[in-house]
């Protein structure tokens, strides 16, 4: 056995996978860590957080820098925009964003509220697009933010509009990430949301905020995304929109986007 093989064997613990690719897994671990970190990290800090030696990660980091996924500035490693660019090259994602943006801009303008679009990903939601309130006052989330699933309006919409097997898998994935969100009534709640067609509830995460969320549906009436208005009431405006108007306007926008994506309105 050569030194490289021995080093890889010594530094990688088995993960139970049928097909193990230790080098690839180390590279993905590095990317995922840097994406989740709010600050750039040094090689030593990455090694410490991944519980590996610096030498075990050196070649992976060098390859990621060479391929343009991360950049080294003053011995600190940053994620570049390459992952973001690749994600948006994907045709379904690009089409969704292309169709959604003008509709979201009009929605935000009509309601004077922010709105955002989320998709499900491995036990969480990812914000893929957002528009701020045109007045500059309101609640919004950043693109790329990770949101909880089981307790949020948009997350429940993404769960409710799935077949039974997919719904259960996603609930289990979400609870592995946030076990404190377990709810014995979740199945009944999701059935109610599906029957009503949307979710509209006070936020369980931000006091005083109200969340209204509709699914973006494919041809099988499965949710490919959720379009949400985090409604913040402007008490200084006489002509502020009511929650009922938000539900009506958001619902019409979601139907239009669903049809444009080839799905059910």
**Within the chain, which residue ranges are assigned CATH 1.10.10.10?**
20-84
Name the segment(s) of the chain with CATH classification 3.30.450.40.
90-260
Please classify residue 125 by burial: count the beta carbons closer than 10 Å to its beta carbon, then call 0-12 exposed, 13-18 middle and 19+ buried.
buried
Whole-angstrom CA distances from 199 to 128, 161, 168, 243 are 20, 11, 19, 12
Residue 111, class by beta-carbon neighbours within 10 Å (0-12 exposed, 13-18 middle, 19+ buried)? buried
Q: How far apart are CA 50 and CA 44, in angstroms?
A: 10
**pLDDT value at residue 264:** 67
Residue 120 pairs in a beta bridge with 125
- For position 13, what pLDDT does the model report? 45
d(CA 19, CA 37): 29
In angstroms, rounded to a whole number, what is the distance separating the alpha carbons of residues 229 and 17? 40
Rounded distance between C-alpha atoms, residue 72 and residue 163, angstroms: 45
- Structure confidence at residue 10 (pLDDT): 40
- What pLDDT sits at residue 67? 92
pLDDT value at residue 183: 93
At the topology level, CATH places domain 90-260 in Beta-Lactamase (3.30.450)
> HSE-up of 57 (CA within 13 Å, CB side)?
24
Q: Which residue has the tokens 């613990």?
A: 13
Pick the CATH number of 20-84 from 3.40.50.300, 1.10.10.60, 3.30.360.10, 1.10.10.10: 1.10.10.10
Closest CA to 110 of 137, 143, 139, 133: 133
> Mean pLDDT for each 10-residue chunk of the chain (265 residues)?
40 53 89 89 93 91 92 90 72 82 96 94 92 82 90 96 93 94 95 96 84 93 95 74 94 95 76
Alpha carbons 49 and 93: distance in angstroms, whole number: 32
């Amino acid at each position: 056995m050569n030194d490289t093989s021995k080093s890889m064997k010594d530094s990688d613990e088995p993960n139970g996978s049928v097909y193990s690719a230790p080098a690839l897994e180390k590279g993905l671990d590095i990317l995922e860590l840097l994406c989740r970190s709010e600050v750039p990290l040094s090689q030593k800090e990455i090694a410490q957080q991944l519980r590996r030696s610096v030498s075990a990660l050196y070649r992976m980091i060098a390859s990621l820098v060479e391929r343009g996924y991360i950049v080294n500035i003053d011995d600190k490693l940053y994620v570049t925009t390459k992952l973001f660019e690749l994600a948006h090259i994907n045709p379904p994602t690009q089409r969704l964003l292309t169709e959604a943006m003008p509709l979201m801009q009009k929605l935000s303008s009509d309601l004077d509220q922010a709105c955002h679009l989320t998709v499900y990903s491995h036990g969480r939601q990812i914000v893929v697009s957002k528009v701020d309130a045109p007045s500059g006052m309101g609640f919004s989330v950043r693109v790329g933010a990770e949101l909880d699933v089981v307790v949020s309006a948009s997350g429940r919409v993404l769960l409710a509009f799935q077949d039974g097997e997919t719904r259960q898998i996603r609930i289990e994935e979400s609870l592995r990430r946030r076990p404190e969100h377990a709810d014995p009534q979740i199945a009944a709640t999701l059935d109610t949301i599906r029957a009503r067609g949307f979710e509209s509830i006070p936020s369980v995460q931000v006091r005083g905020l109200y969340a209204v969320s509709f699914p973006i549906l494919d041809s099988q009436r499965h949710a490919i995304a959720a379009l949400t208005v985090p409604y913040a009431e402007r008490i200084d405006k006489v002509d502020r929109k009511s929650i009922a108007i938000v539900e009506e306007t958001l619902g019409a926008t979601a139907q239009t986007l669903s049809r444009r994506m080839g799905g059910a309105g």
